[in-house]
Structure 1
Amino acid sequence: MDKIDKKIINLLQADASLPLQVLAEKVQLSTTPCWRRIQQLEAQGVITQRVALIDAAKVNLGVTVFVSVKAASHSKAWYEQFSSVVKAIPEVLDFYRLSGDVDYLLRIVVPDIQAFDRIYKHLVSQVELRDVSSSFAMEKLKSTTILPLDYI
C-alpha cells in the first residue's frame, strides 16, 4: 500500500459517495487507474463495504446503551448460543469479547428505556448470564468511522 492508496482510503472514509472523477483528481490519477486501485483495495479486504451513515436520533433511535456482560460459562456451547442470540438483535450495533473483568460489551440503540428493557428481558430469557450492567449514554462527545492510517 502506497501514499496514493492511503489518500484514496482517507477520502473514501470521509465520503464514500465521491464521484470517481473527483476522487481521481484529488489523488492526481486518471479515473481508470484510480478505479483499479479501489477494486484492488476491495479485493484485498482493506475496503470491506461502503455505507451511508444515518443520524440515529432522526430515525427515532436516540438512546444509546452500553451493556457489559459477564458470562455464566466459558464453554463453546454457551458462547455459540450467546453469540447467536446477540447477533440476531438488530438494535445491537457493536458486540465485542473483552479481556479483563467484563467478558462482553454491547452497544445498543433504541428509542427509549422501555425498548431497551424488552431487549434486556429477551436476552436474559434466551441465555444464562452471570452479570449484566447497563450504562446509558448521556452525550456523544466523539463518534467516527474514520480509522487513522498512520500505522500503515
Structure 2
Amino acid sequence: MDSIDRKILRELQRDCSDSIAEIADRAGVSQTPCWRRIKKLEEAGYIKQRVAVLDQDLLNLGMTAYVMIKTSHHDDSWLARFSEGVSLIPEVIEIHRMAGDIDYLLKIVATDMSDYDRIYKRLITVAELFDVSASFSMERIKSSTELPLDRT
C-alpha cells in the first residue's frame, strides 16, 4: 500500500458515495487507475464493505450503554453460545473480548431506559454470566468510523 492508496482509502472513509472522478481528483490520480486501486484494495480485504452511517438520535436510539460482563466460564462452547446469542441482539452493535478485570464489553443502543431493560433481560438469557454492569453515555463528544491512515 502506497500513499495514493492511503489517500483513496481516506476519501472512501469520509464518503464512499462520492464518484470515482471525485475520489480520483482528491487522491491525485486519474479515474481508471483509481477504480483499479479500489478494486485491488477490496480484493485484498482493506475495504470490508461500504455502508451508510446513520443518525442514531434521529432514529430514536439516543441511549448508548457500555455493558461490562464478567464470566466464570472460559471454554470454547460457552464462548460460542455467548457470541452467537449476543450477535442475534440487533441493539448490540459492538462486542469486544477484553483483557483485564472485564471479560467482555458490549456497546448497546436503545431508545430509553425501559428499552435498555428489555435488551438487558434478553442478554442475560444468552449464557451464564457472573456479573453484568453498565455505564451510560451522557454525551457523544466524538464519533468516527475513520481509521488513522498516516501510520507507516
Moved over 3 A (4+): none
* Residue 80 (structure 1) aligned with residue 80 (structure 2): yes
Specify the alignment match of 2:117 in structure 1: 117
Amino acid at match of 1:109: V
Give the Cα separation in 1 of the matches to 2:56 and 2:27: 32
Look up the SS of the partner of 1:46 in the other structure. Answer: coil
Give the Cα separation in 2 of the matches to 1:149 and 1:30: 21
Give the Cα separation in 1 of the matches to 2:99 and 2:126: 24
CA contact under 8 A between 2:86 and 2:126: conserved in structure 1?
A: no
Give the Cα separation in 2 of the matches to 1:109 and 1:148: 25
Specify the alignment match of 2:35 in structure 1: 35
Give the Cα separation in 1 of the matches to 2:116 and 2:84: 19
CA contact under 8 A between 2:24 and 2:34: conserved in structure 1?
A: yes
Specify the alignment match of 1:139 in structure 2: 139
**After the TM superposition, which of the residue ranges 70-79 and 53-62 deviates more from structure 2?**
70-79
- Deviation at residue 126 of structure 1 after TM alignment: 2.7
Q: CA RMSD of the aligned region, Å?
A: 0.9
Q: Provide Cα deviations, 1:81-127, integer angstroms capped at 9, x if missing partner.
A: 11111000000111000000000000000101111111111111231
Look up the SS of the partner of 2:51 in the other structure. Answer: coil
TM-score of the two chains, using structure 1 as the length reference: 0.97
Q: Provide Cα deviations, 1:25-50, integer angstroms capped at 9, x if missing partner.
A: 11222211110000000000001111
Specify the alignment match of 1:10 in structure 2: 10
- Identity among equivalent positions (%) equals 49
Give the Cα separation in 1 of the matches to 2:77 and 2:26: 51
Q: How many pairs does the alignment contain?
A: 152
In structure 2, the gaps of 5 or more residues are: none
* Residue 129 (structure 1) aligned with residue 124 (structure 2): no
